[in-house]
Amino acid sequence: MSNLELIQRQLERERLARKEAERILEEKSLELFRSNMELTKLNASLESQIQQRTDELRFEQSQLNLLIDLHPMPLLLVKRSDFSIIDVNAHACFTFKQTKESFIGLPYLDWAKAIDGEHPSTNSVDGEREINVGDQHLFFQAHSTSLNFRNEDIYLIILDDLADRKVILNQYIEKEKAYRELVENVSDIIYRADKYGFFTYINPTAAHFTGYNETELLNAHFTSLVREDFRAKLISYYQFQLKEEIQTTYIEFPVITKDGDEKWVGQSADLHRIDDENMEFIVLCRDITDRKKVERALIRSEEKYRSIIENLELGLLEVDPAGIIVKAYPKFCVLTGYTPEELVGRNPMTFLVDEQSKQLIETESKKRKKGQASVYEVELIRKDGSKVWVIISGAPFYNERNEVAGTVGIHLDISDRKKMEEELLLAKEIAENSLRSKDQFVANISHEIRTPLNAIIGMNHLLNDTGLTEKQHNYAEAIETSSQNLLTIVNDLLDFSKIESGKMELEIISENLHSVICKTVQLWNLKIEEKGLYFEQNIHPDINRFYNFDPTRLSGILSNLLHNALKFTAHGKISIDIELLERNTNSDRIRFAIKDTGIGIPKDKLSAIFESFVQAENNTTRNFGGTGLGLSIAKDLVALMNSQLTVSSEVDQGSCFEFILELAHAEERVAETTSNFDLSQFKDKRVLLVEDNEINRFMAQTILENWKLEVTCAENGAIAVEKLTHQPFDVVLMDMQMPVLDGLQATWVIRNKLKCDTPIIALTANAVKGELEKCFEAGMNDFLSKPYTQKALQAALIRVLKLQPLPIQHSIAEQLPIASDWIDLSLLIQNTNNNAQFMRKMIHLMISETEKRLEEIPGLLQLKDQESIRKIAHAMKPSIDHVAHANVRDLVRKVEAGNEVFEVFSEQTNDLMLSLKKVVQLLKENPIVTDN
Amino acid sequence: MKGVIFTEFTEMVEHRFGLESLDSIITSSDLPSKGAYTAVGTYDHHEMVKLVVALSKHESIPLPQLLEEFGTYLFQRFTVLYPHFFKVDSGLLHFLEGVENYIHVEVFKLYPDAELPRFSCSRPSENRLIMLYQSDKSMADLAIGLIKGAGAFFNENCTIVSTAKNDSGSVVEIEIIVMNE
C-alpha cells in the first residue's frame, strides 16, 4: 500500500464525512425553523390569554365596586393605620347627605361616635354609634371586617340602622301579646314550673279551677294541690322525667280544690332546657273528672260481668289467634286440674289433648279464624293423666279493628253423658247380637219344626195311597190341610227370618208366567167361591210366554195377597188383574193387582200393615187369623224383585194391592217331566241313605223301596263311611246335619280318604247360597232341598244315576188339549192328582150334569127368571172350573152375578149356553174320555 | 454513539499510530459507515467496538489499556471542545459528582438520542468518591480513562480502584481517592 493510496482513501473518507455533516446540518436547520414557528404561535396564544384574563379581572373589579355601591346599608372603607375614611358607597352618601369626596379623609372615630356600651374601647370601630346628620341624631350598629383591598389594609364597616330594629321589636311584642292572650283565655290549665316543681307561671284557668288566686299559687309547690296519697308518686314521676330528660309525659291524678272538692286532671308535662343548668316544665292540664266517673262505672260493670263469668259452672278458656292460652277461668282449672299459671302461655294442643284429637282442634281453629263459631266434643287430658270428655262451644271475638283477636271456648263436662253413650252402644251391640242369635234361633227352630212336619205330610201322603175308606180319606185330608197350614206358617217364619238377616235369594228360572199364575189362582178359586165371593180374573193373554223369574216366590206373593183378600172380605168380589203395561225388546213391564171389596184399611194403618208382626187391628188375629207376617214378607219379596208393593184402600169399600215387575224374556224351557219315568230302571240300584232322623229316614226308605231300590241306612256320617268301606253303592243320599260326623265332613272323608267317587246327593234344609257351594266343594254331586217332593227325589236320582227318562207316555191330560180355547183341565189334573181313572170318572159326571142343567135354561129365559138362571150357573160353576177355559169360567161367573139388565143378562146366558155345549161336545168327542 | 467520539478516535489513531494503521483497521473492519465519520453524525457503537478491537490486535496493545488511554485523550479534547463545562475551581470530585446531573443533562438537551452511561455517586468522605458505572456498552475502561484525564486537568493526584459488579461488565464500581499533597 503506498502512501498515496492511503491518503487518497483518507481524503475519500473525509469527503464522505463532510457530505454527511452537510446533510445533518440541513436537517438541523429545518428543525430549528420549525421550532421557531411553534414558539411564535405559542407566544401569540399566550398573549391573547393574558389579555382575556386581564379583561375578566377588570370586570370582576367593576362588579365588586357595584356591589359595594348598591348595598342597602351605608358601607365605609376605613384605613386601618389612621382610621381615615378612604371610600364610601352610594347609600352612605344618601343616608348622611354628603358627597363621596367629602367623606374622604374624615376621621371615622370622631365622625361616628361610639355610644358608651358594654365594651368601651377607644379604637373600637364596632358597636352602637351616634352619627349626626344636620340636627338629627341617628343611631347605628357598626359591624366591621378587616380586609386588604386594592393593596391597602382596611376595615369594611357596615352601619346597621337601629331604627329598623325597633320596628321588628315592636312586631315581636305584638305577637307575644297575642299568644299570651291565647294562653290566658284557654279552657285548659296551662302553667310553668321550675325543675323543683314550684309554679312559675299560671294561667287564669288554673286559678279558677283550683279556687286559689295567683298569689297563692305562684311559688307554691304543685303537689300542694294534689291529693295526699298521690303526692309521693307524682314527685318520683317527675323526678324521673327530669333525670332521663324525657320530653313529654302524661299522668292523671286527683286534685283537691280550695273548697275541698276532689277533681281529676290529666296532665301533659313538657320538659324544656333553658340553659346548661336549668330546665323547666311547661304543663297542660285538663279536667277529666267526668271521664273518671264514667271509667269507674265501666270498671264496676266489668267487675260484675267478670265475676259472673268466673263463677260459671262452665269452664272458660281464652286463647289468642295463634292458639296460645291467654286466660283460664277458675272452673276450667278445676276441670283440668291445672293452675292458671300452668295454662297461660301454653298451646292446648300440646298437652290438653291426645294425638287423635289434634286434627279436630286444628279444624276448629281454622273455623275460628274464619269467624265461625261451632260446638264439638273432645277428650281432654287432666294434669293427673286422667281423661274427661267435654263439649266445647267455641267462638271468636274481635278487636276494635274487626280482626279476630282470639277465641273463647266454654267447656262442659260431659263424662256422664259419654258414659251413658258407651253403655247404650254396648247395649245396642248386645241387642243386635241377641237379635242375630234370635234370627239364628228362629231359623234353627223352623228347621227343627219342619222336619217332623214334613214327616207328617209325607207319611200322610203315603197313608193316603194305601187305599183308605172314605172316612179315613177325609181324616187324611184334614191332616193334610192342617199340616199344610202349619207348614205355611213355619215357612213364612223361616222366610221372614231369612229376609230379616238378608239371606233370602230369589231362585230365578225360566218359566211360563201364565201357567204359574193360573196354578196359583186355581188354589184360591174354590176357596173364594166357597166363601160366597165372586172371583174375577183379568189376565192379559200376551203374558203367556216364558220369562226369567222366581215362580215360587211370585206365586207366594200372589197367594198371600189372595189369602188376605179372602180373609178380609165378607162379601162382594176379589179380582186379580195381570196387565201388560209395556212390551220391550228384551223384557215386559207387567202390573199385578189384587183388589177386594173387603173391610178396607184405615188410612193411618196403611203403612203399619207392612210391618212385621203388625196387623191392622189388635183383634185381627182373633177375628181373621194369621201371624201378621205374610204382608211383610210379600213386601220384602217384591222389593227383592226390584219393585214396590203398594196399597190403596178405603174403609168398608175395599183394598187394592199392586206391584209392577219388569220381567226379562226367556227361552222356553222344556219342563222336566218326571211324571213318566220307567221305574224299572231303579230296580236293584243300591242306595245308601244317611239320615239321623228316624221319621225322615223311614219315609225316605219307604218311598225308595216303593220304587224297588235297594236301601241301606246309616244314622250318621261315620257309619256311612264305615259302610262305604265295606260295600259298594250306586248313590248316597246324605243328610247335612248329623251328629258324630256331619254331611260335609263325611263327604270329605269319602272323597279324600276312601277315594270313592260314588255320587252323593245332599239333603239340605238350608238351600242358601253359601251352603250349596260348600256341598259342591266338599265333593257332593247334587242336592235336594228339604222338604223334598217325591218328584224331586226321583229327578235327582235320575240325574245322578244318569238314567233315561222314558219317552213321554202322554197322560190323559196331555192327550186332551190342556189349554185350548174351550178346555182347561189344569185344575182337574191337580185335584185328581193326575189319577187317570179318577179324572175320567169326574169328566163323565161333569158332562152329564152340565147337559142336564143346560136343558133347563131356555125355559127360564122365556120366563125372564133371572134368579133361577143365576142359581143354575152357580151350581154349574165347580164343574166348569175343572174343565173349561178361563173365558168360559168368567162367563159363568157373570151369569151367576146377574148384575146386568135383563137384555144384557140374556145375551150372557146365551153365550154361556153355546160355550158349554161346545165344551161338552169336545169332551165327548175325545175317545180317551168316552172310552171305558 | 455520537460522531465526535469516532472523529476523535480516528484523529488519535492517525496521530499516534499513523495513517497506515488507521487505514488498516478501517479496511479490516466491516464498517457500514465505511469509516467516514463526521462529528455531528451518529453511528452504531458496534463500529467503535470493531475499531478498538482491530486496533488492539493491530498494535498488540491490550484492549482495556487502549480504551483507557483513549479515555484520557478524549477528556483533554472535551475541555477544548466544550470549555464551559470545565471550571478549574470546582475540584475533581465535585466535578465528577456533577457529570451525571449536570453535564450529561446538558448533553441530552442538545442530543436527546445520545447514549451515555449512567453514574450514581456516593461521597463517603471529603476525598473519596464512589461512582457506580452502568452501561450496556460495558466500556468502564473508557470511563476510567476519562476520570484519569479529569484528574490531570484538575491537577489532583488520585487513585482509582475499579470493581466489576457483574460478569458482562455493564455494572462497575469505580472508587476515586484523592491524595492530599
Peptide bond into A787 cis (omega under 30): yes
Please say whether the beta carbons of A656 and A649 come within 8 A: yes
The predicted-structure confidence for A632-648, as pLDDT tens digits, reads as follows 888 888 988 999 999 99
Q: What number is the average pLDDT over the span A151-174?
A: 85
Query: Buried b / exposed e across A747-759, counting CB within 10 Å, b at 16+?
Result: bbbbbeeeebebb
φ and ψ of A635, to 5 deg: -60, -45
What distance in Å separates the CA atoms of residue A592 and residue A538, rounded to the nearest whole number?
10
CB A197 within 8 A of CB A223: yes
The three-state secondary structure class of A467 is coil
> pLDDT class for A932, splitting at 50, 70, 90?
very low
User: Is A826 in contact with A816 (CB distance < 8 Å)?
Assistant: no
ipTM of the complex: 0.82
In this predicted model, which residue has the larger pLDDT, A664 or A694? Answer: A664
Contacts of B34 in chain A (CB under 8 A): 13, 16
Give the residue-averaged pLDDT of A851-855: 86
- Grade residue A863 by pLDDT with cuts at 50, 70 and 90: confident
Among A268-272, A313-317, A489-493, the range scoring the smallest mean pLDDT is A489-493
Please report the residues numbered 16 through 35 in chain A whose beta carbons come closer than 8 angstroms to any beta carbon of chain B. Answer: 16-18, 20-21, 24-25, 28
A638 CA to centre of own chain: 34
Residue whose grid cell is 245308601: A688
pLDDT tens digits, residue range A183-201? 888 888 999 998 888 999 8
**What is d(CA A626, CA A918) in angstroms, rounded to the nearest whole number?**
43
- What would the 3-class secondary structure string for A853-903 be? HHHHHHHHHHCCCHHHHHHHHHHHHHHHHHHECHHHHHHHHHHHHCCCCHH
Helix crossing, A902-925 with A886-897: angle to 10°? 140
Whole-angstrom Cα distance, residue A375 to residue A412? 11
> Angle of helix A470-500 relative to helix A415-464, nearest 10 degrees?
150
pLDDT, position A817:
46
What residues in B contact A20, CB-CB < 8 Å?
Answer: 36-38, 40-41
* Residue A29 backbone zone (phi > 0: left; psi -120 to 50: alpha; other: beta): alpha
Do B34 and A14 count as a contact with CB atoms less than 8 A apart? no
A436 touches chain B (CB under 8 A): no
Q: What is the DSSP letter of B102?
A: I
Query: ∠A786-A481-A733 over CA atoms, to 5°?
Result: 20
Q: What is the pLDDT of residue A53?
A: 94
Chain B residues with CB-CB distance to A18 below 8 A: 38
How far from the centroid of its chain's Cα atoms is residue A189's Cα? 66
Closest residue by Cα to residue A61 from A72, A50, A53: A53
Which one of B23, B34, B38 has the shortest CB-CB distance to A21? B38
Q: Give residue-wise pLDDT tens across range A250-260.
A: 999 999 999 99
Give the type of residue at A193. A
Which one of A1, A12, A13, A24 would you mutate to disrupt binding with B, by most B Cβ within 10 Å of its Cβ? A13
Per-residue model confidence as pLDDT tens digits over A382-407 = 989 888 888 899 898 888 888 888 88
Tracing cell 292458639 back to the chain, one arrives at A323
The residue with greater pLDDT, A867 or A167, is: A867
Residues 6+ apart with CB under 8 A from A846: A879, A882, A883
User: Which residue, B72, B40, B79, B53, is CA-closest to B151?
Assistant: B72
What residue of B is the nearest CA neighbor of A3? B20
DSSP H helical ranges for A711-768: 717-726, 743-752
The CB density around residue A413, as the number of other CB atoms within 10 Å, is: 18
Rg from Cα positions in chain A: 67
Residues of A in contact with B35 (CB under 8 A): 13
Whether the pLDDT of residue A284 is over 80: the answer is yes
- Average per-residue pLDDT for chain A: 84
Rounded Cα distance, A190 and A184, in Å: 8
Q: Is the dihedral of CA A288, A294, A295, A300 positive or negative?
A: positive
Determine the distance from the C-alpha atom of residue A31 to the mean position of all C-alpha atoms in its chain, rounded to a whole number.
108
The C-alpha atoms of residue A76 and residue A157 are separated, in whole angstroms, by 5
What element of type H or E holds B123?
Answer: strand B118-125
**Which distant-in-sequence residues (6+ apart) come within 8 Å of A561 by Cβ?**
A594, A634, A657
Is the confidence at residue A123, as pLDDT, over 70? no
Q: How far is A38 from chain B (nearest CA, A)?
A: 18
In a mutagenesis test of the B interface, which of A15, A24, A28 is the best target, namely the one with the most B β-carbons within 10 Å? A24
Label residue A576 by pLDDT band (50, 70, 90).
very high
Residue of B nearest to A25 (CA): B40
Here the cell at position A807 is 219317552
Nearest to A774 by CA among A783, A444, A446: A783
Q: Which chain B residues have a beta carbon less than 8 Å from that of A13?
A: 26, 34-37
Chain A residue numbers with beta carbons less than 8 Å from the beta carbon of B40 are 20-21, 24-25, 28
Estimate the crossing angle of helix A551-568 against helix A513-530, to 10 degrees.
20
Task: State the pLDDT confidence band at A814, using cuts at 50, 70 and 90.
Answer: very low
CB contact under 8 A, A13 and B36: yes
pLDDT value of residue A615: 61
Q: Could A16 and B36 be called an inter-chain contact, meaning their C-beta atoms sit closer than 8 Å?
A: yes
Mean per-residue pLDDT, A444-450: 75
Q: C-alpha cell of A787?
A: 222338604
Of the residues B19, B38, B111, B113, the best mutation for testing chain A's interface (the one with the most A CB atoms within 10 Å of its CB) is B38
Instruction: Give phi and psi for A659, each to the nearest 5.
Output: -155, 155
- Is A13 in contact with B20 (Cβ distance < 8 A)? no
A791 secondary structure, DSSP code: H
Residue B176 corresponds to which cell in the numbers above? 476515586
Distance, CA of A681 to CA of A191 (rounded, Å): 139
The rounded distance, in Å, linking the Cα atoms of A78 and A110 is 13
Predicted confidence (pLDDT) at residue A656 exceeds the cutoff of 90: yes
Residue A818: pLDDT over 50: no
pLDDT of residue A473: 86
Report pLDDT for A620.
57
Specify the pairing of strand A587-596 against strand A85-88: unpaired
Is residue A766 very low, low, confident or very high in pLDDT (cuts 50, 70, 90)?
Answer: low
Position A808 scores a pLDDT of: 46
From residue A60, alpha-carbon distances to A53, A57, A71, A75, A797 in Å are 11, 5, 16, 19, 147
CB atoms within 10 A of CB A421: 13
CA nearest A841: which of A762, A931, A724? A931
Interface subset of B 5-34, CB within 8 angstroms of A: 7, 19-20, 22-23, 26-27, 34
Per CB-CB distance under 8 Å, the chain A contacts of B5 are none
- Residue among B175, B176, B152 at smallest CA distance from B165: B175
Provide the pairing of β-strand B128-134 with B118-125: antiparallel
Residue for cell digits 280544690? Answer: A257
Question: Averaged over B106-122, what is the pLDDT?
Answer: 90
Mean per-residue pLDDT, A21-47: 93
Nearest CA to A380 out of A317, A312, A466, A289 is that of A317
A451 or A769: whose pLDDT is higher?
A451
| Residue A691 near residue A700, CB atoms below 8 Å | yes
The arithmetic mean of pLDDT across residues B114-126, rounded, is 91
Please count the CA atoms within 13 angstroms of the CA of A445 that sit on its side-chain side.
12
pLDDT for A889 beyond 80: yes
**From CA A413, how far away is CA A393, in angstroms rounded?**
12
Which bin fits B91, alpha (ψ -120 to 50), beta or left (φ > 0)? Answer: left
pLDDT confidence band for B129 (50 / 70 / 90): very high
Check if B37 contacts A (Cβ < 8 Å). Answer: yes
- Are A594 and A622 a contacting pair, CB within 8 Å? no
- B7·A17 Cβ contact <8 A: yes
Confidence (pLDDT) at A876: 82
Average pLDDT over residues A432-455: 76
Cell 467503535 belongs to residue: B48
Q: Which residues does B49 contact at the CB level (< 8 Å), separation at least 6?
A: none
Element (H, E) at A30: helix A3-70
Q: How far apart are CA A890 and CA B135, in angstroms?
A: 157
State the CB neighbour count (10 A cutoff) for residue A102.
13
Check CB contact under 8 Å for A13 and B7. Answer: no
| Least confident residue range of A327-331, A355-359, A613-617, A858-862 | A613-617
Q: Is A726 exposed, middle or buried (0-12, 13-18, 19+ CB in 10 A)?
A: exposed
CA distance linking residue A268 with residue A262, whole number of Å: 19
A335: closest CA among A311, A309, A313?
A: A313
| pLDDT tens figures, B87-104 | 777 788 889 998 999 889
What are the grid coordinates assigned to A622, written together?
182373633
Residue among A702, A763, A699 at smallest CA distance from A731: A763
Tell me: pLDDT of A930 over 80: no
Sign of CA dihedral A485, A490, A491, A495: positive
CA A568 – CA A601 distance, rounded (Å): 10
The residue in chain B having the minimum alpha-carbon distance to the alpha carbon of residue A2 is: B20
pLDDT of residue A844: 79
